Structures are given as structure tokens and as C-alpha cells.
Amino acid sequence: MQHIIVVNRVKDWPFEIDDVKIVSARQYLTDESFSELRKARVYNLCRSYRYQTVGYYVSLLAMARGHRPKPDVHAIQEMKSQTIIRFISEDLDEIIQRSLEPIKSDKFTLSIYFGKNMVKRYDRLCKQLSEMFSSPLLRAVFVRNGKKWQLQSLGPIGTGDIIESHRDFIAEAASEYFSSKRKPASPKKVQYRYSLAILVNPAEGNGAPSDSKAINQFVKAAERAGIETELIGKEDYSRLAEFDALFIRETTSVNHHTFRFAQRAAAEGLVVIDDPESILKCTNKVFLAELLSKHQIAAPKTLVVHRENTDRVVEELGLPCILKQPDSSFSQGVIKVESEKELIEELDLLMEKSDLVVAQKFMPTEYDWRIGVLDKKPLYACRYYMANEHWQIIKTDNRGEMSFGKSETIPWEQAPKNVIKMAVKTAALIGDGLYGVDIKQNGDKCYLIEVNDNPNLDAGFEDAVLKERLYDTIIASFINRIEAGKRGES
């Protein structure tokens, strides 16, 4: 694969690197030989990526030619987004605070050269930012807000703006960077049809949507189907374009890197489960309450609470009742209140984060149904029993440790027909992805509790009936979606 560094003026890049071609932006944009080049990585070191500048067009045309630009247009747009900058600052908060702690001033500019800085203490932070935005030369500006540092802005360092005293360091960093890119890849024994990235976070422990054994089963199922898989983390954000599909097996949230991964993957044309729209819909209980009401799907009596109608909660729902933070997951942010005093206290706390809170009538049952739905069809059926001496299926102690009630998996054909019908109908209102639909059954009546966009799939539990077929079915769905996309089908 050809490696090409693109600069505004060739004389601004005085370094020679083996097997790396240095060209001007104008040459790359106008020379037909680059249009005809099939495999290339393009390192865009232009001084500006502003819209419709030559730097912007270098990355844009590189994408159109099937080359791999660093940064690509999506990363360029994200550098300009204050929302994305804020999210990145939050994601990297721990490493930012640790790296910048010794600095006495209230503003700091970090120059990132191929993932490194002249001061080694900043290398870890440089590597993270460089990988997230896939930019070889990057300038990050941080400001101190009170006692905490925050990322304020990101932008490219043009080759013409390189500080003279930094040139030797940049030459060494570039040489090392491209040397690592030229390491021969180990030959593949299998010719894979497609590639699948699985987003995981080992730090989630038993709170993750899939345990390590289940993840291993997905990898094996993909290999059986001729799909290459790679487990990725949030530091691999810039690499999404390398894959054909993304499978999110980390707890999702809208204000979280999982949602940005889903958005970026969808924008790059990848098949992604679950897609950003499903995450947006499923992670907000206010949306779900409105959706169920509109389509007349039975649910425990529900009231969307704001500061002007808190007095209606007891009157309409009684006590005890359930309060739900709109974007909660894994039973967190879901509270059972027993008294009016407790109700007022908990509503005040929840409304510090959200102007709206969902309140529901308390409906105790021995277990909840969890129906897995994929491609608008039932996949598995489980009974999730309440945790020991608790009213939910998950119990979280004061240290954040989770304990779970037992579960029973049965063939979905043996589950009550009205439960399956409700699950499939509700999931179809969200989309055609992979969902876990939670339903309470009281006699012959069913009540929809919630729809999860990345339901648990753990070895020995949800796969207890289908075994390997559960994983094969999900991988087959990825293949069908990839091939439909190549045929131009939606």
C-alpha cells in the first residue's frame, strides 16, 4: 500500500522517509495518477481543514478515491464540534487531569506529532487524541476551569507552522510511525469475506451486555461464516472505516462514546447493531412512554412528571411507585419510593439531571419476560427472576457491585403467544435491530416495561436453548445487511 503525505507546499516538509511519497495538495487534487491509484493511505498535513479549503478537499477526494485519509472528513467535522470536544474531554478526563496536573498556568497548548510530544509525560494523552481524530499533526488547547482541565479546541498543525526547534523530533517521530506501518502483516490462512468490529469495554465486568465467553462465541461464529473479527475499544474510534460492520457490546448511552461510535459507523456506511436511532429511542424512557401510549400498547400506568405536576403522582399512581431517570440503563436510575417524603426527595434529585422523569405504578411480579428480537422476529425467550430480597432483577449495593436473580431460557415458541406478539410489535416500532423486550405478565394480561437496544447475551443464559445457533443467527443478520447494502437495498 502506498503511503502519501500531502502538504500545502512540498518545501515545508524537509524530511525524507523511506517508501513515503511527499506531494503538494494541488498535485494530489489534480494529477490523474492519484485518481487511478487503487490502494493508498493519505496523511493530510495541510495547514487548514476549513470547509472548501484545499485541506478539506484532500480528505474529501481521498475518501471518494477509496484511499484512507488521515484525518477523514468525519474527523475534520468533529474537530469543529464543541459538543464532540466536550464529550471527548469527558471521556479522557482522568488522563487529562493526570497529565496536566503539574502545569501552573490556566491555559496549555499541546502539540501532537504522530501521536507523541517532546515531553514524554504527555505521550499517553497525545496517543489517545491522535487515534480518536486520526490526525498526524494536531494542536490541542486546554483550559483550567476551577480545579479541572478541559479540552477547549483541536486543530491541525500545518507543515509551514512547525517550530524550527521541533523539526528533529518530528522527523524521528514520523520515521518511527511509518516504520511501524511497514511491518509485514502475518499471512492470513483464511480469505475473509467481510470484517466485523466488536466494541467492548472489559472494565464493565459483569455489567457488560456480553461476557467474555459469549464474545468468544461471536468470534467463532463469525469465523465459521468467513467474517474477520476484531475486538475494539473507545480508542479505536478513528479506525471504524476499516470495517464492514460494527457490533456494540458495551452499555450504550446517548451522552457517551458508544453513541458516537454508532453515528460514525452509520455515516461511514457500516452495518451497525445497534444503530444510533435505536440507541436514541431505547435509552430514553420518556420517548418509550409516549410511543407506547400512541400505539396503545399496554404498560404499567405511567405519568411523565415535571415540576408543575408532581402532586399528581400519588393521586394517579399510588404508593409505592417507581421513578425512572429517562436515560437510565441496567436498573440504575430506577427507584422505588414508599412515601410522599421520599417521593419529593427523589424527584428533586432526578430533576437535577432531567426536566422530565417517568413515574410508573408499582407492579410486583416474580419474574419479567425478556424476549430477544432480531430483524423483527423472535430470537429467544427468558424469564428473569427478581434478585434475592429485591424488587428488581438486578440489585446494586453501595459499592456499585451488581447481583442478579436467576434466569430461565426456554424456546420462544413455548412462551405465551401474547407475550411474543407484544414483544415483536413493540420492537418493530423501534427498528429492525437486536432488542431485548421486557414484559410483565399478570394473569392473562401483559404489560410492556421497556425495550433494550443492546440486550444481554451471556454464555449459559440467553444462549441456553439455541447454543451456537444464537450466535450464528446474529452473524448471519450482519452478512445479510452487508450484502443488501452492497446491492443498494436499504
Give the pLDDT confidence score for residue 190 in this predicted structure. Answer: 62
The total number of residues written for the chain in this structure = 490
C-alpha cell recorded at residue 385: 427472576
**Phi, psi dihedrals of residue 236, rounded to the nearest 5°:** -95, 20
Q: Given this model, what pLDDT does residue 330 score? A: 55
> Quick one: which of 432, 483, 485 has its CA closest to 275?
432
- In Å, how far are 283, 285, 364, 402 from 275, measured between CA atoms? 12, 18, 32, 27
Q: What's residue 303's pLDDT?
A: 94
Q: What is the pLDDT along the chain (490 residues), one digit of tens a residue?
A: 899 999 999 998 888 888 899 999 999 999 999 988 988 999 999 999 988 899 999 999 998 898 989 998 888 888 888 888 988 898 899 999 999 999 999 999 999 999 999 999 999 999 999 888 888 999 999 999 988 999 999 999 988 888 889 999 999 999 999 988 755 545 555 678 999 999 999 999 888 999 999 999 999 999 999 999 999 998 888 889 889 999 999 999 988 899 999 998 998 899 999 999 999 999 888 999 999 999 999 999 999 999 999 999 999 999 999 999 888 665 567 899 999 999 999 999 999 989 999 999 999 999 999 999 999 999 999 999 998 888 888 887 777 777 888 999 999 999 999 999 999 999 999 999 999 999 999 988 999 999 999 999 999 999 999 999 999 999 999 999 999 998 887 6
Helix (H, G, I), strand (E, B) or coil at 152: strand
Give the per-residue pLDDT at 490: 63
Q: Residue 159 is placed in which grid cell?
A: 507543515
Complete DSSP assignment for 163-180: -GGGHHHHHHHHHHHHHH
Q: Which residues of 158-178 are buried (b: 16+ CB within 10 A; e: fewer)?
A: bbeebeeeeeebbbebbbebb
Q: Which amino acid is at 189?
A: K
User: Residue 286's CB: how many other CB atoms inside 10 A?
Assistant: 18
The residue type of 394 is: I
Cβ pair 74, 80 in contact under 8 A: no
Note the pLDDT of residue 261: 94
Complete domains list, the chain, with CATH: 2-181 (no CATH), 194-279 (3.40.50.20), 301-362 (3.30.1490.20)
Residue 279 CA to residue 435 CA, distance in Å, equals: 10
- Tell me the residue type at 212: S
Q: Which residues pair with 7 in a beta bridge?
A: 24
Query: For residue 226, what pLDDT is reported?
Result: 95
State how far the Cα of 404 lies from the Cα of 207, in Å rounded to an integer: 10
pTM of the model: 0.78
